[in-house]
Structure 1
Amino acid sequence: MKHRNKFFLISILITVVGIVSILVSGFHYGVDFKAGTSMDISIGKSITQSQAIELIQKSGVTGEEPIITVGGDKSDRISARFDTELDTASTKKIEAVAKEAFGDNVSFEINTVSPDIARELGLKAIYAVLIASVAIGIYVSIRFEWRFALAAIIAILHDALIVVSIFSIFQLKVDLPFIAAILTIIGYSINDKIVIFDRIRENQRFTKIKTDEDLSRMINDSIWQTMARSINTVLTVLVAAVCLYIFGGESIKLFALAKMIGLVSGAFSSICIAAPLWYLFRRNTVNAKMKAAPAKE
């Protein structure tokens, strides 16, 4: 609690840098939020990056240069992302070239998103995050009080913005798995904050709070009493997220990376942001009681 202003400053600086990056650079949208076509080709045998690029180029499909990657346990899957919406004739050309080169056992998975669907998915993603935040605020208000709810909402939106900012700064791909990661981060983050808030509420019942220093000391004790639990919980989930990132496929790596960033940010905000925010909201009530006390006497 003594260093709360330093923690607030760190969060504000990161948030400002992130907002500037979002306004200036925007996001690197995946096919889910940007009109285009994604094609996953399973060829059943190992292939190099240069061979995969040559195969797509051989099809003669025109348009912007696609993003081509090779993945799979045996490097036997080609993932091609086109920024333009391919028609049926173009996808058939790629299928024909792949089957000619690797036989009829080649399988295809094609996902095409039109501009209208891309806009709709983007709006629904924003709605999902906002609805989740509001629902959490209502739950915490009922379970605790509005000050806890306000502190929790600010802290979880801070966590989401940290992840979004880093993805914008480094131009990492934003797609539906990224939105799933954001919603998962919000869930884990509020869980940590509820644990600390519950301990604060419990200690508040047995502590005589006459000054804002008493309030600060009680909050500080509550944070330290739950510190081991908070860190151990985050570390446990972080190990799983790191394993997903290292051993998971290409399609899940950015999901795992977003989770890793969000878990660290969530632990920081739970310990250093949420409880100090509640202190700022609560101390006005304590000071008001202190001023009113002499009048009653």
Structure 2
Amino acid sequence: MSSKNQSNHSNWNFNFVKKSKFFYMFSLIVTLAGIISLSVFGLNYGVDFRSGSNVDIAVSKVVSQAEVEKVVSDAKLDAEATITAGSDRVNIRFPEVLTDDQVKSLQSTFNSQIDPKASYEINTVDTEMAKELERNALLAIAVASIGIMIYVTIRFEWRFALSAIVALLHDAFLVISVFSILRLEVNLTFIVAILTIIGFSINDTIVIFDRIRENLRFAKKQTRGDLEELVNRSISQTMIRSLGTVFTVFIAAFALLVMGSESIRMFSLAMVIGLLFGTYSSIFIASPLWLALRSKKKPSAAAPSKATN
């Protein structure tokens, strides 16, 4: 082992593998809560994944939610519409597809009562389209996971690949669980966020796995204790790089969450949550899982000793 590696390891004297059991426990609790929530309540799908109409209105003045509710009532539209009023935009979501007459009634009522300069963007999703979008979203996540597993298997070995996929599915499912438990809206931008989280998570995991593979060439690996020390050292050597990358993206995602528009709010929130889960999964889920799989590997036959002269 080089002196450089020893120096890096001495800066982080922490047993990541030993502490991983607490993160396993936390992930298990959130996963079970998510399974229960998904079984009982499901996901709170937005108009992208269910039939209905989404009316996005650009206004020239501040509009209150009470004013919009009155417009919806006076236009004789569905009273169960979900209304989000902001300083320059108003969003109204209807669980049913609006007819042309209903759209005209809404526009004329809004123009006469609130803002004659308002401009409208109306998106409608029928039942079949909503089902197709849901299937395509699940397919995109499945294809991404399979592609990553094939890549990691070719570049490393199947134990690395299996550990990486478990960590990716862990990150994705925990974000989905949080959205289900808190009844947050799931739309197409949420799916984009999940795929983005998977990309960042595998990046951190690959960096750690690459260092583990490099250290395996020089370190002893006959016992579990040797492997555990090797994993701890590999994580320590990549810690600053991993945290620096995640922190940079986290700041950008948090800024979008606080100051971004309503249309990307769920994307930003999913990114913030997913980055937090992804940060610890690469360290405390993927690497210890690889260690557990590698520890079960049967030791190879000892090399024959060289004949003495």
The verdict on a shared fold, with TM-score over 0.5 as the criterion, is yes
1:159–1:262 contact (8 Å) kept in structure 2: yes
Partner residue in 1 for 2:121? 109
Contact 1:65–1:82 under 8 Å retained in 2:
yes
1:250 aligns with 2:266: no
Gaps of 5+ in 2: 1-16
Query: Is the deviation greater in 170-179 or in 200-209?
Result: 200-209
Q: Check whether the contact 1:192–1:230 (CA below 8 A) recurs between aligned residues.
A: yes
Q: Retained in 2: the 8 A contact 1:53–1:68? A: yes
Does 2:85 match 1:70? yes
Q: How far apart are the structure 2 equivalents of 1:105 and 1:6?
A: 57
Counterpart of 1:41 in structure 2 is: 57
The offset of 1:144, in angstroms, is 1.1
The equivalent of 2:248 in structure 1 is 236
- Of the three residues 217, 221, 235, the one matched with 1:223 is 235
- Distance, in Å, in 1 between the alignment partners of 2:302 and 2:63 is 79
Name the counterpart of 1:130.
142
Instruction: Tell me the distance in 2 between the aligned counterparts of 1:102 and 1:273.
Output: 54
- 1:177-232 C-alpha deviation (Å, 9 max, x unpaired): 00010000000000000110011011111112121110111011101111111111
3-state SS, counterpart of residue 37 of structure 1: strand
- 1:207 equivalenced with 2:180 (yes/no): no
Shift of 1:119: 0.5
Q: Percent identity?
A: 47
TM-score normalized by structure 2?
0.90
Q: Work out whether 1:22 is the aligned partner of 2:32.
A: no
TM-score of the pair, normalised by structure 1: 0.93
Instruction: Give the corresponding residue for 1:174.
Output: 186
Give the deviation of 1:102 after TM superposition. Answer: 4.8
Structure 2 CA distance for aligned equivalents of residues 182 and 43 of structure 1: 32
8 Å Cα contact 1:64-1:84 kept in structure 2:
no
Distance in 1 between residues matched to 2:293 and 2:115, nearest whole Å: 68
Following superposition of structure 1 onto structure 2, how do residues 121-160 of structure 1 map, counting pairs within 5 Å?
121-160=133-172
Distance 1:200 1:43 in 2: 56
Moved more, 166-175 or 210-219: 210-219
Deviation at 1:104, TM superposition (A): 4.7
The 1-side partners of 2:142 and 2:104 are apart by 41
Higher helix share: 1
* Aligned mate of 1:3, from 16, 19, 36: 19
**What is the one-letter code of the residue matched to 2:57?**
I
Q: Is the 8 A contact 2:53 2:94 kept in 1?
A: yes
- Structure-1 residue corresponding to 2:292: 280
Q: Does 1:289 align with 2:299?
A: yes
Structure 1 runs, 4 residues or longer, greater than 6 Å off? none
Q: Distance in 1 between matches of 2:283 and 2:35?
A: 23
Task: Determine helix, strand or coil for the equivalent of 1:289.
Answer: coil
